[in-house]
Each structure stands twice: as C-alpha cells, then as structure tokens.
Amino acid sequence: MMVIRPICQNDLKSLYRLAEKTGIGFTSLVTDEAVLQKKIDGAIRSFAKENVVSPSNEDYLMVLEDSTTGDIVGTCGILATVGLDEPFYSYHLGTITHASRELGVHNAIPTLILNNDFTGCSEICTLFLEENYRHSKNGQLLSKARFMFMAQFPERFTEKVFAEMRGVSDENGVSPFWESLGRHFFSIDFKEADELTAQGNKQFIAELMPNNPVYVNLLPQAARDVLGQVHQNTVPARRLLEQEGFRYENYVDIFDGGPSLEARVQDIRAVRDSRLCLANIGQPKGLCNTPNEGCFYLVSNAKVKDFRCILIQRSIPPGSAMTLTQEEADSLCIINKEPVRIVELSAYSGH
C-alpha cells in the first residue's frame, strides 16, 4: 500500500536519492546532505509542535512510502509561511499604458515588476514522484494529501496558499527566460543561480535585480513564449492543482518565468468537500477488486505528528461511518472508532 507520512530522520538517504533525480530548476530539493538534513530537522520540529494557533516558520515535509517494500518513492511539502525570515521574490505581469492623443497612439504594454506580494503566505512545494511510480493515481495521492492535512489543521496555514511551478528549461538546464533577462544582471548560469537560491543565499537577488519594470516586448520571443509556462514534467502537477481550484494570477518566478498558482484554502475542492467520520475496522461493503471498479477516496487520520494519508477504492459511497480493512487502518495508524477525514479523489470522476 502507498502511504503518505511525515519525513523522519531515517529518510535522509532516500531524500538524497530523490534529489538526484529532480533535475535543474527544482530548487526545493538539492543534492546536498547538509541542506537536506536541515530540512528534515525542520520538518520534524514542525510536526512535533503542539497547540499551534497561527502559522509561523513551520515546514511540513512528507514522503510517499511503498509499505510493501519500505521504499520512499516521492515527497511533497507545505511551508506555513514564506518571506518572513528572508525576502521572497516574484515577478508580477502587469500593464503600463503609453498614450498620445496628438498622435492617436494608445499602447498597453506588458511589464514585469519585482515584488514581495507572497510574503506571509503558505506555500505548497517540493512535489516529486519517482518515474517508476507515476501510475495508479500515486501522483494525485502525493499532491492532494497536503490538502487533507490543511483541512484538518487550518490554523497552521494562512487563508491564501500558492504554488511555484517549475518553468521551462531544456535537458541541459538552459532556461530561455533566464538567458534573456536574469543573465544580464547576474552574469552566472541559471543552474548556479538556482543552487544559490536553494541553499538560502538570496541576498544577491536584492542586490542585483532591477527594481524598474521590465518591458516584456523588449525580451526575445523565446523568453516571451515561456512566460507563465511550466516544464514538461510539471504539466500533470499544474493540471491537478487547477482541478482543485488553483488559478494563475500573473505571478511568475524571477529565474525561469514559471507560473505561481494560488487559491484560498477554504476554496480548494479537497479541503471544502472533505469530511470527518468515525472509522470502523472490518470487512467493507463495496470493496473493489479491479482498477476500473468504483470510486477512489483519499482517507487521512486526524493526527499531526503521526499524520497518514492513503488512497482507497469503493464501489459504494462511504456513509457517516467509514469501514476500513485492518490493513488500511494499520496504514493510517488508527484503531476502531477513531476519526478519519475522507474526500473523493477527483471532483470529476473516480477513475
């Protein structure tokens, strides 16, 4: 069974192995054991915090574990806030109007303006799934389990949440947007700038980035074409978030031009539609034997430190009580009559 759980100290080697597979442009996972260890330590502290009444600097990093093999095959995370310890930068794609009544000219020109508008907001991040496991709805489980945690513990997050999506770059890590804009101010490769940011060295952005608006129509066509577009490997992740209610509001990454998607937490479908019920352990009605039978449901427990989330399949919609098999209950770390949170995996279809 595939199980989402908080990361633990024993996961360092597995997290490093995942980081090796992410590729250039994936700033939240880097192949540096010290950085990854710090991330794990921070996550363990965050999940251990009790009686949280408002979000601060918590980092809820989770992993997807194949309970059959014990392998860690994916990761996902939520930052309770960004930009409080160090500035969080993005570009906003806006418009400046140049007009002359005498000449009969009226031009609306798109511009990029450096800002810190996401300061203090929660961010979902660090979504990565091993290629061999990109099937059987594992990607949806990995992405949407975060919303089950947010639904259960809304006090730990801000009203608005956003996601920075990986922008377009080629197999060598060359970003058209960076080559057309960032390189002129930083005089380093996209890969190097990415690594500096991933390691927390962001002061150079404030020191070197232009504060004046950047006129988009002065950029080469190659840069304009990728503005607000995602890396080919990120297309499924963007689609999943948009299905849940996330929207692109003209904010893009300052390095690769990738879009930021945002939503109000209470408007996210999995948050809004999920419900708590009591778990019965036994033989469920409507247990499915084939992948094309019935509907899929996300089920999580109501715990912080021992949070768990799994995917189940039923041909009969669950009622006020949720009957789980012993294996499912064990995976959720619950006993009979404990509360669980449940929501249909997709708003559109169970398949």
DSSP-derived pairing of the beta strands 247-252 and 122-129: unpaired
Alpha-carbon gap, residue 334 to 87, rounded angstroms: 41
Which two tokens mark 284? 């469920």
What is the dihedral angle through the alpha carbons of 343, 348, 350, 351, rounded to the nearest 10 degrees? Answer: -140
> Which residues are CB-contacts of 309 (< 8 A; sequence separation ≥ 6)?
3, 4, 141, 145, 148, 149, 298, 299, 300, 301, 332
- Cβ proximity of 317 and 325 under 8 Å: no
Terminal alpha carbon distance of the chain: 18
- Identify whether 351 is a catalytic site residue: no
Read off φ and ψ for residue 281, nearest 5 degrees.
-105, 125
3-state helix, strand, coil in the chain (%, to 5): 30, 30, 40
Which two tokens mark 91? 């570009």
> Which residues are CB-contacts of 215 (< 8 A; sequence separation ≥ 6)?
96, 109, 110, 111
Residue 34 identity (one-letter amino acid): A
The alpha carbon of residue 343 and the mean position of all alpha carbons in its chain are separated, in whole angstroms, by 19
Alpha-carbon gap, residue 340 to 322, rounded angstroms: 8
How would you class 38 by CB atoms within 10 Å of its CB: exposed for 0-12, middle for 13-18, buried for 19 or more?
A: middle
What residues form DSSP beta bridges with 248? Answer: 261
Determine which one of 98, 184, 231, 351 is catalytic.
231
Which residues are catalytically annotated?
Answer: 231
